[in-house]
Amino acid sequence: MVTRMAPRVSKLTFARNASSIGIGQQRPTLSWRYDQSDKTTNDWTQTAFELSFERDGKTSKRTINSENNVDVPWPEQEPPLRSREIVKVGVRAQGKDLNWTEWYYKTVEAGLLDPKDWSAKVVAPKVGGPPNLAKRPFYVAKTFKLGSASGPQRVYATALGVYELSINGKRVGDHVMAPGWQSYNHRLHYQTYEIPEGVLVSGENTIEALVGEGWYSGRLTWLENCRNIWGSEIGVQVQVEVGGKPVVVTDTDWQWRYGPLLASELYDGEVYDATIGYSDWQPTKTISLPAETALIAPEAPPIRRTEEVVPKALSTSPSGKKIIDFGQNLVGWVKIRQIPKQSRPNECIVLRFAEVLTKDGEMGIRPLRSAKVTDRIYLGDKAVHDWEPTFTTHGFRYCEVTGPPALLEKYQENLVAVVVHSDMERIGDFECSHELVNQLHRNVVWGLRGNFVGLPTDCPQRDERLGWTGDLQAFAPTAAFLYETNGFLANWLHDLSAEQLKQYDGVVPLVVPNTLDTFTGTGPPAQAVWGDVCVITPKDLHLAYGSTKILEEMWESMTSWFNKGIKRGANGLWENPRNGFQLSDWLDPRAPPDDPGNAMTDQFLVADAYLVGIANTIAEVAAILEKKDAREKYQQAHTKLRKAFQDEYLTPTGRLSSDTQTAYCLAFQFNLLDAQHIDGAAERLIRLARKEKFRIGTGFAGTPGILHALTQAGHLEVAYRMLQEKGCPSWLYPVSMGATTVWERWDSLLPSGEINPGEMTSFNHYALGAVANFLHTTVAGLKPLEPGYRRIAIQPRPGGSLTSASAHTTTPFGRAAVDWKLNDGKLSVDFEIPPNTTAVVNLGGKEEHVGSGIHRREVAWTREGEWPPEPYTTQFAQVQPENTLAL
């Protein structure tokens, strides 16, 4: 007989903080997960918990009768955290059987919670370079004496620009391009570093910072001379403390100088000259932060090096160039382990990067537009070990290498690609019996990694790399399943809200931080789908992580967008002036390469469908936040707008004025159809899918929901048929062409092998990868029924030619997983429900309510429709369609 035991508390977190050191809250909420095994008590529910606080040599404990383990308030009786204070916090939980879990402890440390805690100032060169050119990185440093090195040793630092720190020649921290990218006029992150033991010594010490222009002052966007958006001077702010007292801070006693770095730019790359030594030390000056800028302890994780990828092949192009293939489109840079000394004057190594090769085997650099994406290293009279760039990143699979032949003699040992992204916790995955679908999912993951670099960008390689709001809105549910994005995306939404409310009178910028109107003198245009991110994404985060905090924080943003940002016509729908324009279903496959907004679906139908949807979402948020009057207001608005949409776009038989996949997808997604319309709309959607030979007909607005809509319309096998299509355009077409990330266009690489001629042709753009949400929730059958997965749906829907699938994600309660297999007409399902949650299991049409634990079920399985469904062809078709089903 197996002895059952309580689960184990596995992780304690404070608010949304990725780290427990240097947090910015006085009373952070507490959350903890559970681990379980096959020996854990099934159907385990928390009935109480006990908290322990050890501070100032004293311990206090409090027992609370509650089932909640997510966003538990800091006890009222417990004093708030003071700046720099370190508290050891413990938690244990009790189940229905009155048995307690073991204690789990974690130390939390407050950052600098009061602006008065800062003695340091931002220091910069007293005499800088030309303001309208790229800014050469520089060093600032100070030598200081330390009487005693006992007590906690910390560095608090930030920059107007980007920086790296060292003390006594040893690197402090492992962050890349800190402090990252924020809306600097409102918020600037500072970092808290724990100084490793032995780095600081009693006596003389030297602290040094390398400073670059980064996003604060560097070139951004494709617009000409778009520099200095937030300021033309860059500098760094550093405060070193021992035992809670400042021992050295940046001020005008610090000095600055240049070193071998001639340039390190976001788009254009780095220039390193080993023949150049260090210039003489010169005086610094202090500069001010922007007037309204608050120093913030970030909840988001820092950018870090997370992986190294070795070269897969070395080839010679027709023009004689040496090209390394790393086998994976990634974001980061190439590190050279051994750079030889020069054999002749002006000898240099040039590394040039591209995502793809042209049809004839040369570097495909045209899609990079004006970004040079090149690192250049001038060789000196000494060898250089482990060289890598400092303040630049590249999006690439291929690296063209020019330099001394010895460099490539052992290229797989000497050159390595370093992968860089925000260091979020990986929590989810998916796998199935179809290898092309598996590769599609891997592409989605790599696309996320390459574009979640400080904030969610659209692409990582060309002269853009901006925080486009529409891309993230489409992709957020997928991201939240795969990675712990709560703090990362909340941080970005705070920037969005600050700009929207303080600068743009309720209008949500197209990109956050907003860079596009800096040199035009006009504010951002109000755009549906993109602007709707302020409503949709907070609700997605609430569903994924269970916290109402993001809804509270974004409430004003949501209502300001709905009430002020959106310009309305007489019927309450979006104002549709002559020559009005909406991005809407951007980059649908029928849009010509040079006109990506020329979609098949009426732009304002898309905008108005989303408007109806967000009215309902705001009403739901009001209910969650217990805002009764607001709930009634937005419910009434939703009812009126839904009727206005039907009057404007819907026929009595369920046909929409735009007879497209996207139009019907949105009708199902936002519940725009009454009962009498559903059959007609479903018939039209299925007919369109069959008529298009199951090839995709949606852009950014329709793609996230199209397979869900086909399933909701009662045609699961048509959804699978579209998923398994490999002709162009489809999700598997790029996979069949060798893609290792999701593309911006359905045909970024044409069937001929030529690069799409459009100006916007990225090979790493995650928006169309939103299909992974269908893989997680429908194919595998794992999704939340209540916020934070407090109640979980287990309902795999096998179809197509798949014979197995599995998915898992780490919820706020613990691991949830499903693994199904088909064999001889039987569906076998293994699934895991985390402690303190329940599940509704629906297999074979039968519903079962199940508690936590590791379970197995087997039922008879019947296919949900004809497989494979046949395409629609006209009676007089002369040629039968090519069979491009990926079995």
CA distances from 55 to 26, 78, 81, 82, 150 (A): 14, 11, 10, 11, 19
Span 498-503, mean pLDDT? 97
744 flagged as catalytic: yes
Which contiguous run of DSSP H or E holds residue 810?
strand 804-810
Which contiguous run of DSSP H or E holds residue 387?
strand 384-387
pLDDT at 874: 76
When mean pLDDT is compared across 299-308, 378-387, 722-731, the lowest value belongs to 378-387
The string of DSSP codes covering 176-188 is: SSBT----TTTEE
When mean pLDDT is compared across 205-214, 339-348, 413-422, 501-510, the lowest value belongs to 339-348
Identify the band that residue 290 occupies on the pLDDT scale cut at 50, 70 and 90: confident
pLDDT at 519 over 60: no
Dist. CA 647–CA 431, nearest whole Å: 44
The string of DSSP codes covering 704-756 is: GGHHHHHHHTT-HHHHHHHHTB-SSSSSHHHHHTT-SS--SSTTSB-TTSPBP
pLDDT at 320: 98
Point out the catalytic residue in the list 213, 265, 464, 725: 464
pLDDT tens for each residue of 176-202: 999 999 999 999 999 999 999 999 999
Name the phi and psi angles at 74, rounded to 5.
-60, 125
Identify the band that residue 520 occupies on the pLDDT scale cut at 50, 70 and 90: low
pLDDT tens for each residue of 634-679: 999 999 999 999 999 999 999 999 999 999 999 999 999 999 999 9
pLDDT at 579 over 60: yes
- Top pLDDT among 384 and 724 is at 724
- Omega before 179 cis (within 30°)? yes
Dihedral, CA atoms, 666, 601, 537, 526, nearest 10 degrees? -130
Identify the band that residue 241 occupies on the pLDDT scale cut at 50, 70 and 90: very high
Dist. CA 791–CA 478, nearest whole Å: 19
CA distances from 438 to 313, 445, 751 (A): 23, 11, 22
pLDDT at 267 over 70: yes
pLDDT at 1 over 60: no
DSSP strand pairing (415-422 vs 394-402): unpaired
Point out the catalytic residue in the list 164, 499, 725, 744: 744
Dist. CA 49–CA 32, nearest whole Å: 11
pLDDT tens for each residue of 343-399: 888 899 999 999 999 999 999 999 999 999 999 999 999 888 999 999 999 999 999
Span 711-739, mean pLDDT? 98
Q: Where are the alpha helices (DSSP H) in 583-715?
A: 603-624, 628-649, 661-669, 675-691, 706-712
pLDDT at 879 over 70: no
Mapping DSSP to helix (H, G, I), strand (E, B) and coil, where does residue 761 land? coil
pLDDT at 453: 98
pLDDT at 832 over 80: yes
Dist. CA 387–CA 349, nearest whole Å: 12
Which contiguous run of DSSP H or E holds residue 386?
strand 384-387
CA distances from 527 to 440, 511, 642 (A): 30, 11, 19
Mapping DSSP to helix (H, G, I), strand (E, B) and coil, where does residue 6 land? coil
DSSP strand pairing (245-249 vs 162-167): unpaired
pLDDT tens for each residue of 763-817: 999 999 999 999 999 999 999 999 999 999 999 999 999 999 999 999 999 999 9
Which residue is it, tokens 């004839």?
A: 360
pLDDT at 315: 97
pLDDT at 877: 66
Share of the chain above pLDDT 70, in %: 99
pLDDT at 521: 67
Residues 540/474, Cβ–Cβ less than 8 Å: no
Exposure string for 218-246, b = 16+ CB within 10 A, e = fewer: bbbbbeeebbbbbbebbbbbbbbbbeeee
Q: In the predicted model, what is the mean pLDDT of the chain?
A: 96
When mean pLDDT is compared across 465-469, 574-578, 873-877, the lowest value belongs to 873-877
Span 484-497, mean pLDDT? 99
Name the phi and psi angles at 253, rounded to 5.
-80, -15
Span 402-413, mean pLDDT? 93
pLDDT at 508 over 70: yes
